[in-house]
A and B are shown apart, each in its own frame.
Chain A
Amino acid sequence: MKKKIWKYLSLLRVGVLEEMQFRLGAAVRLFGNIIYLIIIYFLWKAIFDSSPTEVVNGMTFTDTMIYLVLASALFSTMEMYVTWQMGRSVQSGNIVMDLLRPMGYTTYNLFVFSGNTLVSVFVNLIPTMIIVYLITSGGFALSWNLLFFMAAVFMGTILNFFINFFVGIICFYTESIWGINIMKEVVVMLLSGASIPLAFFPETLQRIVYYLPFQAIYNTPLTLLIDNHLSTTERLSMLGIQLFWLVIVGAVSQVFLRVSMKRITVNGG
């Protein structure tokens, strides 16, 4: 048992080291994120200034900004290149090596990519949260909500991994990486509430979105962090829904992987 845990931890370490290697890339990304946030700030400021009321759909300008800034930090923290990697390894034939490892293909990828995310949590998510907290002088509470938030980020990361993993298996069949990826990105971006808060969606669309797994990635952690009016039961049920999707998407992707393994053809290798 102890040996097994050590095995997984060393994979996590690989992911961490891999991510630390690209420091210049991180700097460029940070710069890009800052300018992106400036754009978002001015855009929403202009929007709220043009509105006759200060509160729109229950959100003030400050609420919206807190939501969007944290959403963007969460998005870049959880961003995984699982789909790209899987697509590319099937095209190059390297997937044969991955499958020969004395460990499940899913487990291997899950731990390496979680290592990447772990680094991002410390260099990206936590600093952003501190800055947001200081600028808004207490835009979110420092209480039990942080614990719920952490749990939700943890599960959101794994859910995000499984969604990416599922889409990655589709790449085994299509040999189209860019097209599949862009479709996934567009759908997740819009329906998870990462680009526009879900509160702004028209009612019907909102209802549909809440029945889909994507909102559990970013919207659940963010709501748990920001919304003070939730009861503990509501919070637990939100985590429950997240867990539900995690299990469903995880199981479906495993079945899909098993079926696909019998059918794929690998070029070269």
Chain B
Amino acid sequence: MNQTLKKRGLRFYASIYFKIIAQDFKSKMSYRADFIISTLGMIMTNISGFIAFYIMFQNFETINGWNYYEMLFLYGFSLIALTPMQCLFDNNWNLRYKVYEGDFIKYCFRPINIFFYFISEVFDVKGLGQLLMGSLTLAYAWNKLSLPFTVGTAVLLVLALITGSLFMIAIMNLAAATCFWIINSGYVMVTMFKFTEYAKYPVTIYQGIFRVLFTFVIPIAFVAYYPSYIFLRSGVPILTCMSPLFGIFFFWVSYKVWMLGASKYAGTGN
């Protein structure tokens, strides 16, 4: 299996990807009302998030030494870091239905990587609204904090955002993969997704064992806090420097667990 994967280059997979995605767009366009309402729902979710954030800062000037604009920076950052998971990996939400109903078997019979094929099937356009709101927020906070914008910081920003996204994707990959082992994995996904909403707060608010928990076990601290630390404070913690490597590693682990579950399914299915 690995042998054939290596022979097929990136170009092969890219061309396949766009072919599969095109099918998804065609089917989505036939439910136009659903698409518009879902997009509106997504926008409303973001707006209400902002209102909640605004209400909090009406009452309190700082949270744990972080001021309004710094928190806004983290907020915008986390929204952007969430986008790739939302847009590209949305099919994970359907995984458990496919596994229980037996439709998953179709993915096992294709001569391409199962994970790749499964994930390619859906591109969630609604996530782009989130990207837009996140970018505007980040730009606004960046401006208000009068941070320098150079080629160097731009490259760093892109790197930091990719890091945050990798953690986000990995968390949800693992949550989705639980459906290969347990029934009711819907709750696991919903719960994990709820936690990621709190990725926008600095991890320093947690004390003792819980900081360890949210740094290394459910690593929401790496979605926004550690990658964006480098822009907001001087003196870079070691975890910030290591975060891109951790991100790649964690993503790899989540991929392996997902594939392990899939192979187990292929073994027991009929």
Interface residues, chain A, with chain B CB atoms under 8 Å away: 22, 24-25, 28-29, 31-32, 35-36, 38-39, 42-43, 45-47, 49-51, 56-57, 174-176, 178-183, 186-187, 189-190, 195-196, 200-202, 205
B195 neighbours in A (Cβ, 8 Å) = 35-36, 39
Task: Verify A38–B201 contact, CB threshold 8 A.
Answer: no
A56 neighbours in B (Cβ, 8 Å) = 59-60
Name the contact of A179 in the complex, choosing from B38, B183, B184, B190 (C-beta under 8 A).
B38
What are 14 A-B contacts with C-beta separation under 8 Å? A35-B218, A36-B194, A46-B63, A50-B60, A50-B63, A56-B60, A57-B59, A176-B38, A178-B38, A179-B34, A182-B38, A182-B42, A182-B44, A186-B45
B40 near A: Cβ within 8 Å? yes
B58 neighbours in A (Cβ, 8 Å) = 200, 202
Name the contact of B51 in the complex, choosing from A39, A174, A190 (C-beta under 8 A).
A190
Q: Which of B41-74 contact A (CB under 8 A)?
A: 41-42, 44-45, 48, 51-52, 55-56, 58-65
Interface residues, chain B, with chain A CB atoms under 8 Å away: 31, 33-34, 37-42, 44-45, 48, 51-52, 55-56, 58-65, 182-184, 187-188, 190-191, 194-195, 198, 201, 205-207, 210, 218
Task: Verify B52–A196 contact, CB threshold 8 A.
Answer: yes
Q: Give Cα distance in the complex from A200 to B37, angstroms.
A: 31
- Check A50/B45 contact, CB under 8 A, given A24-B184, A28-B184: no
Q: Give Cα distance in the complex from A205 to B37, angstroms.
A: 26
CB distance from B222 to the nearest CB of A (A): 16
SS class, residues of chain B in contact with chain A: helix
Closest to A199 in B: B59
SS class, residues of chain A in contact with chain B: helix
Name the contact of A187 in the complex, choosing from B44, B190, B198 (C-beta under 8 A).
B44
Q: Give Cα distance in the complex from A82 to B198, angstroms.
A: 28
CB distance from B17 to the nearest CB of A (A): 24
Task: Verify A28–B191 contact, CB threshold 8 A.
Answer: yes
Q: Give Cα distance in the complex from A196 to B195, angstroms.
A: 17
Task: Verify A182–B45 contact, CB threshold 8 A.
Answer: yes
Q: Give Cα distance in the complex from A142 to B248, angstroms.
A: 54
CB distance from B119 to the nearest CB of A (A): 19
Q: Give Cα distance in the complex from A49 to B183, angstroms.
A: 41
Task: Verify A176–B37 contact, CB threshold 8 A.
Answer: yes
Name the contact of B64 in the complex, choosing from A28, A31, A46, A181 (C-beta under 8 A).
A46
Q: Give Cα distance in the complex from A31 to B206, angstroms.
A: 18
CB distance from A258 to the nearest CB of B (A): 23
B41 neighbours in A (Cβ, 8 Å) = 178-183, 186
Task: Verify B37–A50 contact, CB threshold 8 A.
Answer: no
Name the contact of B55 in the complex, choosing from A32, A35, A186, A200 (C-beta under 8 A).
A200
Which residue, A46, A174, A181, A182, has most C-beta atoms of chain B within 10 A? A46
Q: Give Cα distance in the complex from A186 to B44, angstroms.
A: 7
B201 neighbours in A (Cβ, 8 Å) = 43, 46
B206 neighbours in A (Cβ, 8 Å) = 39, 42
Closest to B207 in A: A42
Task: Verify A174–B210 contact, CB threshold 8 A.
Answer: no
Closest to A198 in B: B55
